[in-house]
C-alpha cells in the first residue's frame, strides 16, 4: 500500500488559523506556522505552532498556553499526583482529582523531575494550595534539586535558585504560649509536627500521621484559605486531643498537630473550638517570602531575557528531546507553559535546552525554567484533552505513543468561578478559512460562560451567515463558490457572535489547490479506510469534532467528525 502524508504546506490551504511568520535565531530565519489558537479558559489561550528550519525542513511542534495572571477568575496551582507525597498519575488524572465546583483545573503541564521507582519522589518540592506535598533536602552536589517556581497569595510568580522551608516556625496557643514545629516531617523527641492530607511515610497509608503511641494528637481545620508558608495561619480545633494512640487519620479538609514528650503539654489543654496560630517561614535565595504554590524544575532557561548556559549534567540537556518549560514576561503579568514534542512524535524533531530557551524568549518570556521532558511532556486542556503527542522511551516502551505517561506533579491554570453552563460568548475554532471551489466547511464552535470558562467545545444550535459572494450555505455548512473572493463567515448563538475571514480560491488572485493531491491512492477500492489529521499525520481513528482526511482506495474525503 503506497501513500504519502499530506504536508503542512498542502494542508494549510484548507484551514489556516492565522498568519505565517518567522523567528530569527542564531542568524537563521525559521518559518513559523500558527496551526491553532483559541481561548480555553479565563484569561487563557492555547496555541499550536510549527517551527521549521528553512534549509533542512526539520520542524518542531510547539503547544503552549498563555495565562493573564491578573484575570480575577484564574489562579495558578501546583498539584501533587494522588494528592500524596508518594504517588504518580497522568496530568489529566491529576486535573480530574483536584477539580471541584468553583475550582476547575482546566489547563496544565507536567512539572518536576522524579524518581521513576517507588516512592516516586519529586526531585524538588511541591507546595499546593498552601500545603507541603513533598520536599527533598538537596545534597550539596545535587544541583538538580535546587530550582523552583513559586507564587504568592496574589498569583505573582518568582523563580528561586534555593528554597528552604521549615527554616523557622512556631505555633501560638490560646494562652499565648508558643512552640517550634515542622510541617509533614517525622516526629522526633519532644517534637511538634503539623501534618497535612498530603503526608505519607513508610508503610502507612496516605492520610495518616504514621506516628507511634507515645504522643498526643489533635485534629484542626484552617480558618480561611490555607497559606502555611510566610504567613500566619489560624487553625480551629475540631476534636478533643487524643493521647497515647498515634497514627491519627488526617481529615481531608484539615490537618493534625502531633506532639511528643515535652511538647505534649501544649496540646493537652486544647478544647474543641479553640484557635491556634501557626507560622512557618520559608526563604527563597536568602529572602523571607510568602508562598502559596511552589514547584521544582531544572535548570533555568532564561534570566532577565538572557539565555542561561547549558549545564554539563545531566547530559540529555544537550540532546534533542521532547521538552516542557514554564516562564513569565518582564512585568510578571503573563505566564507561559510550553511543550515541544520530540523523538519524531507527530514528526517533531525535539529541541536542546538552549533551543527551548530561545523558543520561550520568542514567546515573550523574560524568565523561564525547564521542567521534566521526554515521555513526561504533556499539555492538557479540560474539554479538549491532551494536546501534544507524548512520546515513549525505554522506561515506558509499552505505553502507546500519544498516551500521557504518569508523572509526579503538574502545574495548572485553575478557573476560580461559580459553576455556570450558560453560554455568554463564543469562538470559532478556526480563525481563518482558506477554501477551494466546491469544498465544504462546517464551523466547530466553542462556547464560554460569563467567567470565560470553556463549557462546550462543540456547540450546537448556532446559526451561520456568509458574505454572499463566497458561495452557498446549507444550514451551517458552507460550500465555496468559484472565483477569487475574500469575505466573512459569522456564527451566532443567542446574543453572542463571532466572525472569521474567508478566502475562496486563494488570496490576491493566487489559486489554492484542494490539498488532497499529494496522497497516492491504492487502485483497490476495497482497501482499508485510513485517517489523517489536519497536520497530515496518520491517526488510528477520528475523535468527535476533529477535522480529518479519510482515504479508502481512490476515494479521498475531508470532513469534521461529530
pLDDT band at 202 (very low <50, low <70, confident <90, very high): low
Bridge-based pairing state of the strands 306-307 and 300-303: antiparallel
pLDDT for position 53: 95
pLDDT for position 155: 94
Residue 492, classified by CB atoms within 10 Å of its CB into exposed (0-12), middle (13-18) or buried (19+), is middle
pLDDT for position 519: 36
Residue 531 has pLDDT above 80, yes or no: no
Query: Among 161-165, 329-333, 387-391, 542-546, which stretch is predicted with the lowest mean pLDDT?
Result: 542-546
Percentage above 70 pLDDT, the chain: 85
Residue 331, classified by CB atoms within 10 Å of its CB into exposed (0-12), middle (13-18) or buried (19+), is exposed
Residue 130 has pLDDT above 90, yes or no: no
pLDDT for position 228: 78
pLDDT for position 513: 36
Which residue is associated with the grid cell 542561561?
308
More confident residue, 124 or 88: 88
| 234-257 mean pLDDT | 95
Burial 163-183, CB ≥16 within 10 A → b, else e:
bbbbeebebbbeeeeebebbb
Residue 19 has pLDDT above 70, yes or no: no
Q: Measured between alpha carbons, how far is 183 from 257 in angstroms, rounded to an integer?
A: 9
Asked if residue 282 lies in contact with residue 216, where contact means CB atoms within 8 angstroms, the answer is: no
pLDDT for position 131: 74
Q: Measured between alpha carbons, how far is 128 from 466 in angstroms, rounded to an integer?
A: 48
pLDDT for position 326: 98
Asked if residue 560 lies in contact with residue 547, where contact means CB atoms within 8 angstroms, the answer is: yes
Phi, psi of 92 (to 5 degrees): -60, -35
Q: Measured between alpha carbons, how far is 539 from 533 in angstroms, rounded to an integer?
A: 7
At a CB cut-off of 8 Å and minimum separation 6, what does 173 contact? 179, 266, 269, 270, 276
Q: Measured between alpha carbons, how far is 327 from 295 in angstroms, rounded to an integer?
A: 13
Asked if residue 506 lies in contact with residue 434, where contact means CB atoms within 8 angstroms, the answer is: yes
pLDDT for position 24: 94
pLDDT band at 529 (very low <50, low <70, confident <90, very high): confident
Interval 141-170: pLDDT, tens: 344 447 999 999 899 999 999 888 765 689
| 339-343 mean pLDDT | 96
| 162-191 mean pLDDT | 86
Quote the mean pLDDT of the chain: 86
pLDDT for position 18: 42
Q: Measured between alpha carbons, how far is 255 from 251 in angstroms, rounded to an integer?
A: 6
Asked if residue 48 lies in contact with residue 35, where contact means CB atoms within 8 angstroms, the answer is: yes
Residue 318 has pLDDT above 70, yes or no: yes
Query: Among 132-141, 275-284, 421-430, 534-543, which stretch is predicted with the lowest mean pLDDT?
Result: 132-141
The residue among 490, 435, 431, 493 whose CA lies nearest residue 459 is 493
3-state secondary structure at position 190? coil
| 134-146 mean pLDDT | 48
Residue 13 has pLDDT above 50, yes or no: no
pLDDT for position 523: 43
Residue 73 has pLDDT above 70, yes or no: yes
Interval 382-418: pLDDT, tens: 999 999 999 987 667 777 878 999 999 999 999 999 9
Asked if residue 217 lies in contact with residue 267, where contact means CB atoms within 8 angstroms, the answer is: yes
At a CB cut-off of 8 Å and minimum separation 6, what does 525 contact? 552, 553, 554, 555
Residue 275 has pLDDT above 80, yes or no: yes
Interval 92-112: pLDDT, tens: 999 999 999 999 999 999 999
pLDDT for position 478: 96
Rounded to 10 degrees, what is the CA torsion of 8, 475, 451, 41?
Answer: -20
More confident residue, 206 or 445: 445
More confident residue, 184 or 28: 28
pLDDT for position 203: 55
**DSSP conformation class of 161:** S
Query: Among 142-156, 186-200, 279-293, 462-476, which stretch is predicted with the lowest mean pLDDT?
Result: 142-156
Interval 489-527: pLDDT, tens: 999 999 999 999 999 986 544 433 333 333 333 444 456
Overall pTM surpassing 0.85 (yes/no): no
Amino acid at each position: 500500500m503506497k501513500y504519502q502524508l499530506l504536508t503542512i504546506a498542502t494542508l494549510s490551504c484548507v484551514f489556516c488559523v492565522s498568519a505565517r511568520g518567522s523567528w530569527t535565531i542564531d542568524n537563521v530565519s525559521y518559518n513559523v506556522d500558527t496551526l491553532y489558537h483559541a481561548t480555553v479558559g479565563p484569561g487563557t489561550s492555547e496555541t499550536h505552532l510549527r517551527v521549521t528550519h528553512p534549509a533542512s525542513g526539520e520542524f518542531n511542534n510547539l503547544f503552549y498556553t498563555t495565562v493573564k495572571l491578573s484575570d480575577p477568575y484564574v489562579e495558578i496551582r501546583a498539584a501533587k499526583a494522588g494528592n500524596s507525597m508518594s504517588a504518580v498519575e497522568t496530568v489529566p488524572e491529576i486535573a480530574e482529582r483536584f477539580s471541584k465546583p468553583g475550582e476547575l483545573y482546566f489547563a496544565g503541564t507536567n512539572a518536576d523531575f522524579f524518581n521513576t521507582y517507588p516512592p516516586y519522589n519529586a526531585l524538588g518540592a511541591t507546595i499546593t494550595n498552601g500545603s507541603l506535598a513533598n520536599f527533598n533536602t538537596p545534597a550539596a552536589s545535587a544541583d538538580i534539586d535546587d530550582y523552583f517556581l513559586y507564587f504568592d497569595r496574589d498569583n505573582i510568580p518568582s523563580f528561586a535558585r534555593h528554597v528552604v522551608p521549615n527554616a523557622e516556625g512556631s505555633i501560638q496557643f490560646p494562652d499565648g504560649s508558643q512552640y517550634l514545629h515542622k510541617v509533614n516531617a517525622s516526629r522526633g523527641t519532644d517534637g511538634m509536627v503539623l501534618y497535612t492530607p498530603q503526608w505519607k511515610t513508610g508503610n502507612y497509608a496516605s492520610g495518616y500521621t504514621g506516628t507511634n503511641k507515645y504522643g498526643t494528637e489533635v485534629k484542626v481545620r484552617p480558618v480561611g484559605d490555607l497559606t502555611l508558608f510566610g504567613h500566619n495561619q489560624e487553625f480551629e480545633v475540631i476534636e478533643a486531643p487524643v493521647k497515647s494512640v498515634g497514627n491519627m487519620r488526617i481529615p481531608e479538609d484539615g490537618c493534625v498537630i502531633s506532639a511528643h514528650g515535652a511538647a505534649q503539654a501544649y496540646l493537652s489543654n486544647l478544647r474543641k473550638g479553640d484557635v491556634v496560630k501557626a507560622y512557618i517561614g520559608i526563604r527563597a535565595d536568602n529572602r523571607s517570602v510568602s508562598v502559596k504554590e511552589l514547584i521544582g524544575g531544572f535548570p533555568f532557561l532564561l534570566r532577565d531575557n538572557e539565555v542561561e548556559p547549558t549545564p554539563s549534567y545531566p547530559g540529555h540537556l544537550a540532546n534533542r528531546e521532547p521538552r516542557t518549560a514554564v516562564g513569565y514576561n518582564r512585568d510578571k503579568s503573563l505566564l507561559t507553559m510550553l511543550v515541544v514534542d520530540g523523538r519524531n512524535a507527530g514528526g517533531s524533531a525535539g529541541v536542546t535546552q538552549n533551543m527551548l530557551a530561545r523558543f520561550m524568549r520568542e514567546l515573550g518570556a523574560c524568565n523561564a525554567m525547564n521542567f521534566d521532558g521526554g515521555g513526561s511532556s504533556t499539555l492538557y486542556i479540560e474539554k479538549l484533552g491532551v494536546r501534544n503527542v507524548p512520546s515513549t522511551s525505554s522506561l515506558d516502551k509499552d505505553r502507546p505513543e500519544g498516551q500521557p505517561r504518569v508523572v509526579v506533579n503538574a502545574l495548572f491554570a485553575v478557573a476560580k468561578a461559580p459553576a455556570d453552563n450558560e453560554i455568554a460568548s463564543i469562538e470559532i475554532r478556526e480563525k481563518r478559512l482558506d477554501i477551494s471551489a466546491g469544498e465544504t466547511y462546517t464551523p466547530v464552535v466553542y462556547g464560554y460562560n460569563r467567567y470565560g470558562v470553556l463549557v462546550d467545545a462543540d456547540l450546537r444550535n448556532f446559526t451561520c451567515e456568509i458574505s454572499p459572494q463566497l458561495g452557498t450555505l446549507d444550514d451551517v455548512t458552507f460550500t465555496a463558490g468559484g472565483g477569487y473572493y475574500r469575505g466573512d463567515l459569522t456564527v451566532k448563538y443567542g446574543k453572542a457572535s463571532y466572525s472569521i475571514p474567508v478566502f475562496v480560491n486563494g488570496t490576491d488572485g493566487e489559486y489554492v489547490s484542494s490539498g488532497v493531491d499529494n496522497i497516492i491512492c491504492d487502485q483497490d477500492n476495497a482497501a482499508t479506510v485510513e485517517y489523517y489529521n489536519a497536520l497530515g499525520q496518520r491517526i488510528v481513528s477520528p475523535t468527535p469534532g476533529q477535522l480529518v482526511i479519510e482515504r479508502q482506495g481512490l476515494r479521498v474525503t475531508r470532513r469534521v467528525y461529530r
